[in-house]
A and B are shown apart, each in its own frame.
Chain A
Amino acid sequence: MNVPGGIDIHVLMDAACNDQDIAAGLMRLFFELTGQEQARLAAAVAQGNPASASAVAHKVAGSCASCGMSGLAARFRELEHLCKVAIPDDISGRLRAIDHEMQENRAGLEMYFNCSLSP
């Protein structure tokens, strides 16, 4: 079964003791928590608070890396570093790209696990 290119399914399955139910449960939690963090990130950007945006991006980068989402981890890490200086001018595009990849990963994993990953 194919999963989106930005996910290393072996990392995820290994973390989940090769159990599909555990992996799906972890992913459900992942999408719930990162959804909240993405909202915090958007709020930090709207308030023009780069330090807070950087801290949120840092946290989500770690979550993404831990479950094999290396593509998203790299996007968040880059954003973390940029926000240490200032909120980048192309922030809207970056957030859209992150959101798009997040949805793509979610749809791919829902097909892979054959279940909904909604909380």
Chain B
Amino acid sequence: MKSILLIDDDQFVTTLYKAKLQSEGFEVNAAHNGNEALEKLGQSRPDVIVLDLNMPGITGAELLKAIRAVPLWQHIPVIVFSSGYIKALVEETTKLGVHKFFAKAQCPPKMLISEIKDLLSKMTSAESHLPADAEAAPEALTIDDIPALLELFTASEDPAMLHTVLLKIYKASRDYITRALEANDGTVQGQLGHALEKLFEDLYAHPEHITESTKHTLAAGLRKLGRIDAEKSKPALESELALKGLLRSLED
């Protein structure tokens, strides 16, 4: 079933469209602010996002920037559905990739619904031409997402946004941290793993401690841990490749 995420601070608008879209056979989730939207996105990747621009706290444009920074969410089509066109916000979101803009005042519900249905049907048609494995998208955040998340973390100033992104960085870097914690405490990897685990705990419990300096420390620590992790896994990879080569030569 195709899914839609409605992001609008107006509960009436989300209720109205949720009911209508569900009656059309779609799975619909609603979020009423930027942080809730990031949480919902983290739980499952929607096929389409309907986004209001003018929201208290994180604006639609800031949220779209955050969404586009995560590889898994980069290509989700976004329809902007907003009460007014604020020129600067429209220009900003256009650069970030918006499928279509609709002004609430000039768009009766059936117009928006029809656009969503049309977009989803085109997506279904395109997907039917893909090989089976190309459809499978990883649902969880991975190590590959860390650079973009760190960039977003360093650029963010909103405390709530920082809190959410921090959690996502932690989830994405869980493999690094786990391997580091399993390493000997006497090694740089082990010490760095413990220090980063402690830093994550501290910043998550006390977001007021997130400063330019702690952001830099976290980013530098994760990059270093990433390099050590890659270096350590290299010999294993090399011996695996050597073994495969040997097996191939034996087969020949």
* Residues of A bordering B, CB below 8 Å: 8, 11, 14-17, 22, 26, 29-30, 33-34, 55, 58-59, 61-63, 65-68, 70, 73, 77, 80
How distant is the Cα of A61 from the Cα of B85 in the complex, in angstroms? 13
Chain B residue with Cβ nearest A67: B16
Do the beta carbons of B84 and A80 come within 8 Å of each other? yes
Q: Does B217 contact A (CB under 8 A)?
A: no
Shortest Cβ distance from residue A53 to the other chain B in the assembled complex, whole angstroms: 14
Q: List B52-90 residues whose CB lies under 8 Å from chain A.
A: 52, 54, 56, 82-84
Chain B residue with Cβ nearest A30: B12
Choose one: A11, A30, A59; the contact of B9 (CB below 8 Å): A59
* Residues of B bordering A, CB below 8 Å: 8-13, 15-17, 19-20, 23, 52, 54, 56, 82-84, 104-105, 107-110
Choose one: B12, B109, B110; the contact of A63 (CB below 8 Å): B12
Do the beta carbons of A15 and B12 come within 8 Å of each other? no
Q: Which 7 pairs from chain A and chain B are nearest by CB?
A: A62-B83, A15-B109, A62-B104, A65-B105, A63-B12, A65-B104, A11-B108
**Chain B residues within an 8 Å CB radius of A55:** 54, 56
Do the beta carbons of A33 and B105 come within 8 Å of each other? no
How distant is the Cα of A58 from the Cα of B12 in the complex, in angstroms? 14
How distant is the Cα of A80 from the Cα of B12 in the complex, in angstroms? 19
Count, A-B residue pairs, CB within 8 A:
73
Chain A residue with Cβ nearest B9: A59
**Chain A residues within an 8 Å CB radius of B8:** 62
**Chain B residues within an 8 Å CB radius of A65:** 83, 104-105, 107
Do the beta carbons of A15 and B20 come within 8 Å of each other? yes
Shortest Cβ distance from residue A116 to the other chain B in the assembled complex, whole angstroms: 18
Shortest Cβ distance from residue A23 to the other chain B in the assembled complex, whole angstroms: 10
15 contacts between A and B (CB under 8 A): A11-B108, A15-B108, A15-B110, A16-B19, A22-B19, A26-B15, A59-B54, A61-B84, A62-B83, A63-B13, A65-B105, A66-B104, A66-B109, A67-B12, A73-B105
Contact status of A29 and B15, CB under 8 A, knowing A55-B56, A58-B84, A62-B10: yes
Choose one: B16, B54, B56; the contact of A66 (CB below 8 Å): B16
How distant is the Cα of A54 from the Cα of B241 in the complex, in angstroms? 64
How distant is the Cα of A110 from the Cα of B178 in the complex, in angstroms? 61
Given A15-B108, A61-B104, A61-B105, 12 further pairs, Cβ under 8 A = A14-B110, A15-B109, A26-B16, A58-B54, A58-B83, A59-B54, A65-B105, A67-B12, A67-B16, A70-B105, A73-B105, A80-B84
Do the beta carbons of B19 and A66 come within 8 Å of each other? no
**Chain B residues within an 8 Å CB radius of A11:** 108-109
